[in-house]
Structure 1
């Protein structure tokens, strides 16, 4: 008789009997932590000082994960989530925690990671006041997935489900700017009237200083009837509506573009400075380009970065991972020369356009892979000040060129405290000292932590 291989059940994924645990603290991702049989147990949704009933869902050698079944004794900091989609949606995972307690948790997580992973000694005078703002309706941009179900002939519009690729259809979003949140349901109804609804990808909504913008990803050419329907919808809701095809080509449906100009309207936001010049700067961005989604926090963050760097009229400043010029533009108002470097070619071009738009001739932008060998890059050389604003992976590779750049000050803007802590070790090994460290609450109601750090070169 033939014998066939039969996989053994994965014991690490089997559910346990129900357990009662005491939550002692939060990990840096916002999950509750408890002790059970010598292991640390992570419980998403649980808070410190709570007694909870759980089931273990995954067991490893030194830790386990558990599913929250019931809260037997609630924390005084627990709050009823405001969003009706909170349980399913994978976005705002700390709505159950009071916002002041959220910020205390983020500040503590930041200092612990910088101490443990970065080997930093954090005196109290190093810790800067946190940058905080509105806890709700702060996002000026969001991308909603559009998924067509052949069985129901219905298009879902929403966000990814927690720990899943499935879509949660949403009717509102309480962290999205109110004018954008109010568009979700009308858009969902409107898109379901289209003949080509099976050919839609995602919907990107933005609130800019020049109005409401919506970009609809399309995989096929829209029929004339769908274009008329969308144009009427955009006119009714006063939206600048564009489509984006498979080649990332943008077509503006409303308002109609002058054929002689043939250029789509781009959203923009203003950057004001508190330096010698009060000149407001206009920063345009194109769909798909990265921009900071929290306008209020971004404004305060840019101001703090400039204050900490303190660029002078005779100094050269290098801005690595510069994007469309969020920091470079205002820095150019104070410094002699600002050099911005970015890895995405389209964003480099947009940054150049923004420099021209603002009549800044002491600003240059360059395209480079900042994780690669920079030996032959013409822009790489002695500078006075350095600003870093990398992605979550950090700036480890770029910091290998510190000896050649030798800036007096480095401001590091981070969206991942773990990579900031790791990179701070490189800076310290190269003769820099951590002078300021501040938490930036860019994403209230979530566990995400942004931070800003100032390092100064020891002159001894």
Structure 2
């Protein structure tokens, strides 16, 4: 097969090449795993459609200057990372381009100011992870992420994006699970890393088990945690069954020194995986929101109070709304623990089913912070559009003057930007990417809106 020229790269880190038909017209598009822009490569197709093919890289005849040596020996098999072969600066540039392209092509909007990307350590950054466990007759116990584009678990004994201590523990964890009586009934391991009271890293490993541990199993498990200096918890059913094996509840938290906030959390609570970048992101978002001592602020999809509590150190009052009863309760506890219980109020509500009347029931607030899951905040955007277009002028009083929107999906962000800009009377003032997940295609971003009073 003749080499092809790779023209570009997509968000899944596949090189994009285009064949030429015999008559000189453009032919099929070839998506090649592992190929980079500017390279001449040969490939082997594994899926062929009428207009495109998907292929694996066979040989690079002329490597790109952007090509990097992957730090992980399991790169290419493990599906946890897709961009380790690409220079980190180029990874960031691609994510920035994807954000800009989505905003323009899906929302027909451009930010007045493109924010400088937020980036940090590229390795050992992941403080939360959920790994699968499988007991195979020939290979023994495997613990790790799924193989690339497959349902199999990657046979991995280290991971460069996990804290080094956790990565180094993977072989020992495999041996531990293998000697348990229910080794084939433990499907999952969840890792959470935080700070202890002394400021040192505290590692908690939660084992999901479908049958009860035997007395001998508990001896093995407790011996492991004592030997390796980690804490083991068990989960027999749902999240409410998570508990430490020895009954000792360690205090797990992350800190935001800029605001004097300490955020206790449980190992199964939803928290950001990258604590260092989270600190920077929270600080940036709060400064862009610019809450004042006389202002009331709404924090929507507030979780355990990641943005709520820092905002509360500056605003008069913050009202946090979250869809999970469990997280709402955790947010209330965190506000009290930080001495902010009188300035923060929380409630649980379904933010995917919001109407203008519901928005009005939340009361007046000059500024909003929105941090939705991947599905975005379309119901909120549509409710604001309805209030903006209402025949009753007083309805516009419930429209916030400024919105800071933190997104983990550029496509749903762009959809919501289109509504806010074109039908709700807002201007997209600033936007930029946040590299929360280096070496992956995941894109975190932030966008700032201000109300156009003339609209």
Change over 3 Å in CA distance of 1:205–1:121 after alignment to 2:
closer
Q: Which stretch of the first structure deviates more once superposed, 352-361 or 114-123?
A: 114-123
SS of 2:436's equivalent in the other structure is coil
CA contact (8 A) 1:339 1:379 kept: no
1:364 and 2:345 aligned:
yes
1:100 and 2:89 aligned:
yes
SS of 1:111's equivalent in the other structure is helix
1:12-411 to 2 correspondences below 5 Å: 18=1, 20-37=3-20, 38=26, 39-123=28-112, 126-149=113-136, 151-152=137-138, 154-210=140-196, 211-248=202-239, 249-254=241-246, 256-257=247-248, 264-273=249-258, 278=259, 280-360=260-340, 361-374=342-355, 375-376=357-358, 380-402=362-384, 403=387, 405-411=398-404
Deviation for aligned residue 1:145: 0.8
Deviation for aligned residue 1:153: 8.4
Q: Distance in 1 between matches of 2:336 and 2:371?
A: 22
Deviation for aligned residue 1:420: 1.1
TM-score, normalised with respect to structure 2: 0.90
Change over 3 Å in CA distance of 1:364–1:61 after alignment to 2:
farther
Q: Distance in 2 between matches of 1:440 and 1:341?
A: 24
Q: Distance in 2 between matches of 1:165 and 1:144?
A: 13
| 1:32-59 Cα distance to aligned partner (Å, 9 max, x none) | 1121243332222111001111233334
| 1:97-151 Cα distance to aligned partner (Å, 9 max, x none) | 011111122222221221221211345xx011111101111111212211122x3
Unaligned runs of 5+ in 1: 1-17, 258-263
Q: Distance in 1 between matches of 2:58 and 2:8?
A: 18
Deviation for aligned residue 1:376: 4.7
Q: Distance in 1 between matches of 2:89 and 2:138?
A: 44
Q: In the alignment, which residue of structure 1 is the partner of 2:23?
A: none
TM-score, normalised with respect to structure 1: 0.89
Deviation for aligned residue 1:221: 1.3
CA contact (8 A) 2:127 2:163 kept: yes
- Structure 2 residue aligned with 1:412, among 402, 405, 411? 405
Change over 3 Å in CA distance of 1:121–1:251 after alignment to 2:
closer
| 1:254-303 Cα distance to aligned partner (Å, 9 max, x none) | 4x43xxxxxx3352111233xxxx5x212122233221111111000000
Higher helix share: 2
SS of 1:397's equivalent in the other structure is helix
Q: Distance in 1 between matches of 2:373 and 2:353?
A: 15
CA contact (8 A) 2:190 2:207 kept: yes
SS of 2:352's equivalent in the other structure is coil
Change over 3 Å in CA distance of 1:79–1:376 after alignment to 2:
closer
CA contact (8 A) 1:411 1:452 kept: yes
Change over 3 Å in CA distance of 1:266–1:36 after alignment to 2:
farther
Q: Distance in 1 between matches of 2:157 and 2:452?
A: 54
Q: In the alignment, which residue of structure 2 is the partner of 1:435?
A: 429
Q: In the alignment, which residue of structure 2 is the partner of 1:14?
A: none
Q: Distance in 2 between matches of 1:342 and 1:165?
A: 33
Deviation for aligned residue 1:152: 4.0
Deviation for aligned residue 1:62: 4.1
Q: Distance in 1 between matches of 2:110 and 2:244?
A: 53
CA contact (8 A) 2:111 2:429 kept: no
Deviation for aligned residue 1:19: 5.0
Q: In the alignment, which residue of structure 1 is the partner of 2:391?
A: none
Q: Which stretch of the first structure deviates more once superposed, 308-317 or 281-290?
A: 281-290
Q: In angstroms, what is the RMSD of aligned CA positions?
A: 1.8
| 1:322-366 Cα distance to aligned partner (Å, 9 max, x none) | 111111111111111111111222111111111121121211222
SS of 2:76's equivalent in the other structure is coil
CA contact (8 A) 1:432 1:458 kept: yes
Number of residue pairs the alignment of both structures matches: 428
CA contact (8 A) 1:385 1:409 kept: yes
1:459 and 2:450 aligned:
no
CA contact (8 A) 1:115 1:122 kept: no
Unaligned runs of 5+ in 2: 21-25, 197-201, 388-394
Q: Distance in 2 between matches of 1:426 and 1:419?
A: 11
CA contact (8 A) 2:291 2:311 kept: yes
CA contact (8 A) 1:29 1:448 kept: no
CA contact (8 A) 1:338 1:362 kept: yes
